[in-house]
Structure 1
Amino acid sequence: MYVLPSAYARVPHHCFVSQKQLNTTQYHYSRDLRISAKVGGELVFDHRVLDEIPVPDTDIFAWNNLLQIHLTNGDFDLVISTYTQLLLRGTVRPDRRTLPRVLTASCRSGDIFLGKQLHGHALKLGFSSDHYVVTALIQMYGRLDSVDTARWLFEKSAHGNSVAWTLLARLYIMKNKPGLAIDMFDQMIESGAEIDSVALATVVGACGVVKSLQQGRKLHRIARNYGLEFDVLVSNSLLKMYIDCGSMKDARENFDGMPAKDVVSWTAIINGYVKKGGFNEGLKLLRQMSVDGFKPDALTFSSILPACARMAAHKHGKEIHGYLLRNSTYLNLMVQNAVMDMHVKSGFIEYASRIFNTMKNKDVVSWTVMIMGYSLHGQGERGVHLFRTMESNSTIQIDQVTYTAVLHACRTACMVEQGKFFFNCITAPKVEHYSLMVALLSRAGLFDEAGIFIEEHKIQNHAEVLRALLDGWRNHQQPKLGKRVIEQLCDLEPLNAENYVLLSNWYAYRARWDMVDKLRETVRDMGLKPRKAYSWIEFRNKVHVFGTGDVSHPRSKRISSELQCLVKKMEDEGYRPSPDFSLHDVEEERECIQIGHSELLAIAFGLISTQPGATIRVTKNLRVCRSCHDSAKVISKIVGREIILKDLNCFHHFKDGLCSCGDFW
């Protein structure tokens, strides 16, 4: 806490000089100050320059210059100490440009007491109505005290300052009150204040936060009326607002109509498509961006790489990775993390591991991506070991997301005691942490302990927790215990069709076909639409999609023949499919034979389309059923190939009759 001397300054008679002397002194002083800053000399040297001025301390411009140097360098303590020296010497009076610099330093250092002292100085020096000083005070109070205090100060000042209006609107957004920011803008228009691009961009951003498309279109009309529609800052804000409001049609129209685009514009539209699942369109825009002469930056690549984080698009991801290796952009830590995450989610865990091991600098995101990656690929023990290694790095601050990753790894590896230890390290666990602990305990067969854990933490009314418990019962083949939980899920989420599908499959497992038909009729009457199961595989730059019992593919007869042949070989091996009460092929008819399941159709297509020995990579939109899972294990042994199947939960690496998930998923 700083205590400043009086704001009143007296100038001794011996310091009065001619204007010519003052101008000469100011020139040399300012030059020396710039030189010392440019060569990176120590800041103490700057103060020595002050002491050597022939006409000491009479130049407020020189003092302000020194304050700005310290502020630019982030040396807020030096800003404050320099201002204190200025007051103590009493040879020059602060002006309207001095206080905003010191107020900014107090704001960034988080010292509200100092800020209030400076407010007092502004009153004593007669600058309390100066718009530069008022703006700095509004920012200081808004960040360190409250927006209400900043608003009170704003209302006491003149309303013609556009910067103050905009600053107050930004403060409302920072304090998670975007609606008030929009109200501020409406009042700004009514008051006749000048509307500039910064003010418009700010309120458009607030509109995106509240996701009001109607209000956003109104602001677009205002921008057009003020001739600011095609200002790059406003155009980019409108583009992001439309994306945030979920209207890619408006966003694309706005983007196509922009006469002047920049990298920010391209990145925003690419990111918008990727987030909405328009992966192919995002990749097309990236190629068009280069054709139009724009060089993608780190943020652009971080936006497009999630579009490649799919097995069917990994080729594009490798191409982008190659481009990055040839350019300095790859040195950016954010991009390296995104590339690593892309390889993890594309099924190439070893690629990701090599990138991680060669990274010179790693942050908490780097470690978290790799820990979760090992877990998703059935290598939970490696994930836990990596977390232990990260703990020894004192520069990494572990967050809740990292704890989620390591708990996931403990669940994958069924490491109960380690999971308990890590859970107890979390200061404020969230539902996802609780559900992972329930999944870990039930996966280990500790159902009584899982029940006690749920009761102690009062989490029995969370659907994620109940599903975790249900997964444990499913893995341990105890369907009798599942019915009560499924019914509870139906009560918690009456409009979730998947819960009724689970109950329907439970009845199907027990051959209660009357109840199956009744439940399906109930789902139809409620207007609910369960997700249809489908799987896909890429071959020769084309994605081939298969549904349950699908016979629409041009090579359907050949696929069916391959499966029939595999079934015979599996029977010769003594394999018999096992039923699964929580089957996830939700649209299948009970008459559908097992070889009609979507993932097996995709696997068969891969076998007849690729060279012997090549790895088969398939993705399914839902969880793989136990029968298909067991079949894929046997098939991998029969054909002598690795089959990688990504489902809703994890990656299954089938090889030599075994699966990386250890039959728990």
Structure 2
Amino acid sequence: MEVLASAQIQRLIVIEKPIDTAQYKHPRNSKTSTRVAVTRKLLEKMPHSDTFAWNKLIQTHIANAHFDNALSTYHQMLLRGVRPDRHTLPRILSASRLSVDLPLGKQLHGHALKLGCSDDGYVVAALIELYGRLHSVDAAKGLFDKSPVKDSVSWTMLARLYIMEGKPGMALHVFDGMVESGAQIDPVALATAAGACGMLKSVIDGKKVHRVAKERGLEFDVLVSNTLLKMYMDCGCFDDARSVFDQMPSKDVISWTGMIHANLKRGGFNEGLKLFRQMIADGAKPDSLSVSSVLPACARMSASKQGKEIHGYLIRNGIRMNLTVLNALMDMYVKSGFIESASKIFAGLKDKDVVSWTVMILGYSLHGQGQLGVNLFRQMEDSSIQIDEITYAAVLRACVAALMVEEGKFYFNCIKTPAVAHSVLLVTLLSRYGLFDDAKNFIADKKIEGDAEVLRALLDGCRIHEQSKLGKRVIEQLCDLEPLNADNYVLLSNWYAHYAKWDMVEELRGTIIDMGLKTKKAYTWMELRNKVHVFGTGDVSHPRSQGIYGELQGLMLKMEDEGHRRDSDFSFHDVDEERECIPIGHSEMLAISFGLISTQAGSTIRVTKNLRVCRNCHDSAKIISQMVGREIILKDPNCFHHFKDGYCSCGDFW
């Protein structure tokens, strides 16, 4: 390695302003002192002419974020007459950039000019990044334009700077120039260009980049394939994304996670779980991102078995569970009906963020334990965690579950800028408590009469407190607000049916048909021995239908013998088919009966329904839980109903 002549050293160190490393030094402590001492010993033993060794030491300091030591080492290198090379300057320019010191970077730029390295591709790229990040992209572009050497690294760096500045169109313009110049196109350049297309959601430009990748034989480079996959997903082209994924000869965890996320985003929860299992079978080790991506699928499907298997896999394989994963696990357990498991994870967290608290507060409210949710929120208030609007929504929901009106009003008033969702929750709370005048006054005061969700919240209270006239007016308002929503006509039809106004029922049915609207179909499912059993209203397709109906009929007869009467009020129910089917044929009752005849006595039965459980089935499930001595957990869109010993956790407010 070349040693600098004495005159050259003087030009770099004496005539130039010496590099002031003192400003970068860490506060004095034992660890810092030890590190400095070790560095001094290394410098004392460092061969005077071994540039590689000096570069290695500088890189080690940078990798450990010890930028002061990196700069000090560079200074010592110059003092000893060791000539920096094309690998030294990019490293030390990186240290000045990470130290956010543009003047120092400019001084190092001067060093590069005097050493004759300023036209080296690596040095140019480092200077472009320095000026682009600490000054402006225009300054970086000016340097790039003046540089006689434009290689793949400098082209790509300029494009990346435009992306970081939120100008993906300019980044693509740079990439086009790179292609036209004949510069070597590498995977990083293609990945950068594909990322810009994704930001622009321009599939036309994306396909051009894809074509360039094919022409250069880089289509199946893992980095390129992964970014093309993401680009197509960002552009909403799922089939193209799937095609890229299926053609990849080798996939890493990023590939699998990207495809899993794409499926989940479009509602393909089963396929997402299937891909996760395939990823493990393929030998790819899931990371925190892939795990936290797939767990919501388990939550959405109430697929507790798969969720537990994933949790077990993480433990068995020693995969580090960061807070994101632990929060996702809590959310999965909450939404799969295992609030106790979620609570145990929460209690074991050393550090909690706003998501941790919010998941548990919401979890308690979903499971009818609103008081615990409010208590937890009070603990959160005593912590240093910043409470956001989502957390306020969670505690409002907890107040709804516990019917804590005054607390709900107080927390609502704590929100700086309440969203409509917060108002909906307060209307729900007031109307469920029977404070209809307060609810109507609040709606008028906030001028939210025209919001359908607000009206549905008011209707919720009408259903619970049997406010027939007010309820009918609300339904009619909903029909006016959402003339293409079949659910509103079903509500009105059920109201007329309750009062035996069959001519109006037929008229509304004709309206639904004439307008080409589709009404909701109710179904309930239960997971048993790795299989999901789905039941529709009046379903007789299940292989065990005879036993299912036989069990139900026996239970209903026993209920009648004990004096229990069925509630035939469907006036505010939102499913047409269930009104016309005897309650014994409702999907949730079929699923519960299947659970009773298919599982061990005394075990908990868990079922999920896609629509709100009707009042008759709700009452029947309470009684059945007492008759058979088993807990029945039924999840509907509103909450988890824990039926046990003749009671429900929702307190009959759902």
**TM-score of the pair, normalised by structure 2:** 0.81
* Residue 455 of structure 2 corresponds to residue 466 of structure 1: yes
Matched, 1:336 2:323: no
Q: Which moved more, 1:398-407 or 1:536-545?
A: 398-407
Amino acid at match of 2:528: F
Structure 1 position 318 matched with structure 2 position 333: no
Alignment of 1:381-420 (within 5 A): 381-394=371-384, 396-420=385-409
Contact map agreement 2:120 2:149 (CA 8 A) in 1: no
Distance 1:458 1:101 in 2: 61
Match among 570, 574, 595 for residue 606 of structure 1: 595
CA distance in 1, matches of 2:92, 2:447: 51
Aligned length: 628
What displacement does 1:444 show? 3.0
Query: What does residue 72 of structure 1 align with?
Result: 63
Per-residue deviation, 1:61: 9.4
Please state how far the C-alpha of 1:583 moved relative to its aligned partner: 1.3
Q: Which residue of 1 aligns with 2:18?
A: none
Residue aligning to 1:478: 467
Residue 542 of structure 1 is matched in structure 2 by 531
What's 2:548 paired with? 559
- Among 188, 193, 217, which residue is 1:198 paired with? 188
Matched, 1:272 2:252: no
Q: Specify whether residues 316 and 622 from structure 1 end up closer, same or farther in structure 2 by C-alpha distance, changes over 3 A only.
A: same
Offset, 1:379 = 1.0
Which amino acid in 1 is paired with 2:175? F
- Change beyond 3 A, Cα 1:663–1:210: farther
Within 2, Cα distance between the matches of 1:215 and 1:510? 61
- Name the structure 1 match of 2:513: 524
Shift of 1:373: 1.4
Residue of structure 1 equivalent to 2:522: 533
SS at match of 2:303: helix
Among 195, 213, 221, which residue is 2:211 paired with?
A: 221
In the other structure, the counterpart of 1:358 is 348
Q: Does 1:241 align with 2:231?
A: yes
Deviation at 1:327, TM superposition (A): 2.8
The answer to whether the 8 A contact 1:372-1:409 is kept is: yes
Equivalent residue for 1:647? 636
Q: Which moved more, 1:514-523 or 1:655-664?
A: 514-523
Gaps of 5+ in 1: 1-8, 17-38
Matched, 1:257 2:274: no
Paired residue type of 2:296 = P
Cα distance, 1:162 vs. partner?
A: 3.5
Cα separation, 2, equivalents of 1:463 and 1:150: 52
Query: Would you say the 8 A contact 2:191–2:227 is kept in 1?
Result: yes
Counterpart Cα distance in 1 of 2:361 and 2:609: 23
2:423 paired residue among 434, 437, 441: 434
Contact 2:269 2:301 in 1 (8 A): no
Which of 554, 558, 581 is the aligned partner of 1:569?
558
Equivalent-residue separation in structure 2 for 1:391 and 1:576 (angstroms) = 45
Whether contact under 8 Å (1:535, 1:620) holds in the other structure is yes
Structure 1 segment 609-628 matched on structure 2, within 5 A? 609-628=598-617
Instruction: Tell me the alpha carbon deviations over residues 475-514 of structure 1, each in whole angstroms, 9 at most, x when there is no partner.
Output: 3332432344444444554444434433443444444443
Task: Go from structure 1 to structure 2 and tell me whether the alpha carbon gap of 1:554 and 1:14 turns closer, same or farther (over 3 Å shift).
Answer: closer
Deviations 1:567-593 (A, max 9, x none): 33333333230524331324x175322
- On the 8 A contact 1:463/1:492 being kept in 2, the answer is yes
Equivalent position amino acid for 1:267 in 2: T
Aligned counterparts of 1:372 and 1:348: Cα–Cα separation in 2: 13
Task: Map residues 47-126 of structure 1 onto 2, 5 A cutoff.
Answer: 71-74=62-65, 78=68, 115=102, 118=105, 122=109
Deviations 1:9-37 (CA, angstroms, capped at 9, x unpaired): 99659999xxxxxxxxxxxxxxxxxxxxx
Deviation (angstroms), 1:524:
3.4
Amino acid at match of 1:408: R
Cα distance, 1:592–1:50 mapped onto 2, change above 3 Å: closer
Q: Structure 2: which amino acid aligns with 1:569?
A: K
2:372, 2:647 → 1: CA distance? 19
SS in 1 for 2:565: coil
Identity %: 64
Provide closer, same or farther for how the CA distance between residues 50 and 252 of structure 1 changes in structure 2, counting only shifts above 3 A: closer
Change (3 A) 1:288 1:81: closer
After superposing the two structures, state which structure 1 stretch, 506-515 or 227-236, moved more.
Answer: 506-515
Q: SS where residue 546 of structure 1 aligns?
A: strand
TM-superposed deviation, 1:623 = 1.6
Matched, 1:593 2:579: no
**CA deviations over 1:374-408 (Å, ceiling 9, x no partner):** 111111111222222233333x4434333332232
Q: Residue 363 of structure 2 is aligned with which of 363, 369, 373?
A: 373
Tell me if structure 1 keeps the 8 A contact 2:487–2:575: no
Equivalent position of 1:23 in the other structure: none
Structure 2 partner of 1:207 = 197
C-alpha deviations, 1:130-185, integer Å up to 9, x for none?
Answer: 76676556556766777677667766767935444434544554555545544543
Contact kept? 1:533, 1:584, Cα under 8 Å: no
Q: Does structure 2 retain, via aligned residues, the 8 Å contact 1:653–1:659?
A: yes
| Aligned 8 A contact 1:311 1:347 in 2 | no
Q: Secondary structure at the match of 1:259?
A: coil
CA offset at residue 42 of structure 1?
A: 4.2
What does the per-residue CA deviation read over 1:542-586, in whole Å, with 9 as the maximum and x for residues that have no partner?
222111122222333333333333333333333230524331324
**Distance (whole Å) between structure 2 residues aligned to residue 444 and residue 640 of structure 1:** 31
Say which SS state the counterpart of residue 319 (structure 2) adopts.
Answer: helix
User: How far apart are the structure 2 equivalents of 1:54 and 1:83?
Assistant: 11
Q: Does 1:299 align with 2:285?
A: no
Alpha-carbon offset, residue 433 of structure 1: 3.0
Distance 2:582 2:208 in 1: 56
The answer on whether the counterparts of 1:266 and 1:289 sit within 8 Å (CA) in structure 2 is yes
2:457 partner letter: A
CA 1:507–1:223: 2 relative to 1, 3 Å: farther
Partner secondary structure for residue 652 of structure 1: strand
Say which SS state the counterpart of residue 309 (structure 1) adopts: helix
Deviation for aligned residue 1:245 = 4.4
Q: 1:437 to 1:289 in 2, by over 3 A?
A: same
SS at match of 1:614: coil
- Give 1:629 deviation, angstroms: 1.8
Gaps of 5+ in 2: 1-6, 15-30
SS at match of 2:347: helix
The equivalent residue for 2:490 is 501
- Tell me the CA shift for residue 417 of structure 1: 3.1
Partner SS for 1:198:
helix
Tell me: CA distance 1:611–1:11, structure 2 relative to 1, closer, same or farther (3 Å).
closer
Report the CA distance between 1:536 and its aligned residue: 0.9
The alpha carbon displacement at 1:292 in A equals 3.4
Does the 8 Å CA contact 1:507/1:516 hold for their aligned counterparts?
Answer: yes
Q: For 1:297-334, what per-residue CA distance to the aligned partner results, in whole angstroms no more than 9, with x for missing partners?
A: 33333233333336763223223322322232154333
The one-letter code of the counterpart of 1:519 is: L
Q: Which amino acid aligns with 2:600?
A: Q
Deviation at 1:107, TM superposition (A): 6.0
Greater alpha carbon shift after TM alignment, 309-318 vs 619-628: 309-318
Aligned to 2:25: none
Task: Output the TM-score relative to the length of structure 1.
Answer: 0.80
What is the identity, as a one-letter code, of the residue corresponding to 2:366?
Answer: L
How far apart are residue 94 of structure 1 and its match? 9.8
